[in-house]
Amino acid sequence: MTQGCFDLYWIAADAAARGQGTGRSLVAAMERVLVSRAGRLVRVETSSQEAYGATRKFYLAIGYIEEARLRDFYKPGDDLLIFTRRLEQSQQAEH
């Protein structure tokens, strides 16, 4: 129902593999595929709970921005955060 917009629904790395570039590599590979298919935007949703702090830092570190916040979405005090990254054809060579 969108033109060139995609959702990254779930990504996870084993605790022993965290911090070694696995997540970054997976997202970069996904973005290359999306760019080759005329993708222009990736959307990611996560929670504002402290347990998801590393997740939020990860997306910010790889170039995603916090696009929106729906307060008390999951439960009172637990907001839904929406991160996005705009894709460009030049990213195909970037990763």
pLDDT tens digits, one per residue of 45-94: 999 999 999 999 999 999 999 999 999 999 999 999 999 999 986 554 45
The pLDDT-based confidence of 12 (bands split at 50, 70, 90) is confident
* Cβ neighbours of residue 6 closer than 8 Å, sequence gap 6 or more: 34, 39, 41, 42, 43
Angle at 60 between CA 56 and CA 63, to 5 degrees: 145
Q: What is the pLDDT of residue 91?
A: 58
Q: What is the pLDDT of residue 88?
A: 82
pTM of the model: 0.86
**What domains lie within the chain, and their CATH numbers?**
5-94 (3.40.630.30)
Span between the terminal Cα atoms of the chain, in Å: 28
Torsion angles phi and psi, residue 83, rounded to 5 = -105, 145
Q: What does the alpha-carbon distance between residue 44 and residue 48 come to, in Å, rounded to a whole number?
A: 13
